[in-house]
Structure 1
Amino acid sequence: MDLGIQGKVALVMASSRGLGQAMAVSLAREGVKVAVTGRNPEGLKQSLELIQAAGGQGMVLNWDLADLSVIDGLVSQVENTLGPIDILINNTGGPLPTPAAGQDPALWQKSFNDMVLSLIAITDRVLPGMRQRKWDRIITSTTSGAIAPIKNLAISNTLRAALLAWSKTLSAEVASEGVTVNVIMPGRIATDRLRQLDEARANREGTTYEAVVKASLGQIPMGRYGDPREYGDAAAFLASQNASFITGTIMRIDGGQIQAI
């Protein structure tokens, strides 16, 4: 299927590994020019190599989401090198596991800046051009914990839920101008991050990693973890011409795991 996005330009945040990398590569397979970002030089190099192996064109940007002052300059680099940004993939790394109670307010503030305010500011930087072109895509990757809170991931659950409300509100503001705004939500996708969380749970509960995985698979109707490519391909579809009438919604890639309707 031709998704109708060949030659478009995408900026994919936090794409040196994991789900961000998977989304970047899936877009590259469709002929999208992709800017990948992150703080891991080796991971960024790998992402660029994967983009090129998929037949795509890309660039890398060392980008610390905590620093709002670099947004304008780095976005300008993408625009000057690849062209105006047609597809923005909002994505961040996950915070350390924590309970809800007793967290330092400074940690909440830092996490908010890294995971919420940074993405809003980046979106605001690219949005004027998107509205002028009247064909653009904003896709925000969150977590299933935003609608079905995950134990011991209180910061992630809370702050990514805020992104759901922001995305829905923004979608109505720009829909008539041809810009779609959607959320993509993973269940349990087989990334390094998921392995770390499963290992942390095993340590916390005094059990084995294998036992944690077995219990997790029992909660997924499909009986397996998702492949990162499946997540990336779903994001590419939302970015496509084929998805031009989809906005203000949440796409779950979860194998049927999330119980909320």
Structure 2
Amino acid sequence: MDLGIKGRVAMVAAASKGLGKAAAAALVKEGCRVSICGRDRAALEAAKADLGGSVLAVPCDVTNPADLEDWFKATLAAFGQVDILVTNTGGPPAATFLELTEAQWESGVQSTLLNTVRMSRLVLPGMRERRWGRIVHITSLVAKLPAPLLTISSTLRAGLSALTKTMATEFGPDNVLVNALLPGHVLTDRQLHLAEVRSRKDGTTVEEYFEKSNAAIPLRRLGRPEEIGEVIAFLCSERASYLTGSSIQVDGGIIPATF
């Protein structure tokens, strides 16, 4: 299927590895010119080499407003405009409610919510002027299936789903489509870290944790990053032209029905 986005310019945050890199790879495959960012310069350059295609790599800490603006300006200088934005962040600290400090809550808001707001504010004026844009917020299944160990993430990811809907309503008349993607358990560094934390708390091994986790997923396996990336590419495409304001579950069926 031709997704109709060859030549479009995409910014993909935190794309040196994991889901961000998978999203960038899927967009490169569709012929997009892709600007990626990440904190680790070496990892970012390695990702650029892996991705091939027309890729700009800009070191950037997405929690730093000045870094985000520099990344945006570098993208405009290289490619002239931004048609697609994929927001993506690292997960906040994994801990139960009473274990969390106020500083950790404040850090979570900065790293998970406000950077998404800032990235969107940078690209939206140009998208509205050209009357074409796609924004996809990568969030998490905890937006619909809160987890006690992921207190901050569960709270903020649910908020991002609400933000997605309000943005879609506001910018729909400008043909700017905004959706959220809720990955389930996908084999990334973040998933390995959470497995280590949870297995320690439960007194089990990481292998036992994954065996139990897989048994709870209807497809009986973890997702692959590229499976998430391909859905993101579709949401950014011309083929998704009547899809906005949705929080799309890509979770192997683990989130219960919410009829």
1:88 is aligned, of 71, 78, 85, to 85
Please state if 1:144 is matched with 2:115: no
- Between the aligned partners of 2:257 and 2:49, the Cα distance in structure 1 is 38
Tell me by how many angstroms 1:41 deviates: 1.8
SS at match of 2:56: strand
Show CA shifts across 1:50-82 (max 9, x none): 220xxx210111111221123323211101102
Alignment of 1:1-261 (within 5 A): 1-52=1-52, 56-261=53-258
SS at match of 2:51: helix
TM-score (norm 1): 0.96
Long gaps (5+) in structure 2: none
- Between the aligned partners of 2:183 and 2:198, the Cα distance in structure 1 is 19
SS at match of 1:183: strand
SS at match of 2:80: coil
SS at match of 1:101: helix
Tell me by how many angstroms 1:110 deviates: 1.6
Show CA shifts across 1:229-260 (max 9, x none): 00000000000100010000011111111114
Show CA shifts across 1:170-226 (max 9, x none): 100011111000001100111121111112211111111111111111111111111
Contact kept? 2:105, 2:152, Cα under 8 Å: yes
SS at match of 1:77: helix
TM-score (norm 2): 0.97
Show CA shifts across 1:80-121 (max 9, x none): 102201000011011221112242212211210111111101
Contact kept? 1:28, 1:34, Cα under 8 Å: yes
Contact kept? 2:128, 2:174, Cα under 8 Å: yes
May I ask how many residue pairs the two structures share in their alignment?
258
RMSD of aligned residue pairs (Cα, Å): 1.1
SS at match of 2:86: strand
Amino acid paired to 1:48: K
Amino acid paired to 1:155: I
Q: Which moved more, 1:5-14 or 1:67-76?
A: 67-76
Tell me by how many angstroms 1:45 deviates: 1.6
Contact kept? 2:93, 2:104, Cα under 8 Å: no
- Between the aligned partners of 1:30 and 1:72, the Cα distance in structure 2 is 26
Contact kept? 2:63, 2:110, Cα under 8 Å: yes
Contact kept? 1:147, 1:260, Cα under 8 Å: no
SS at match of 2:145: coil
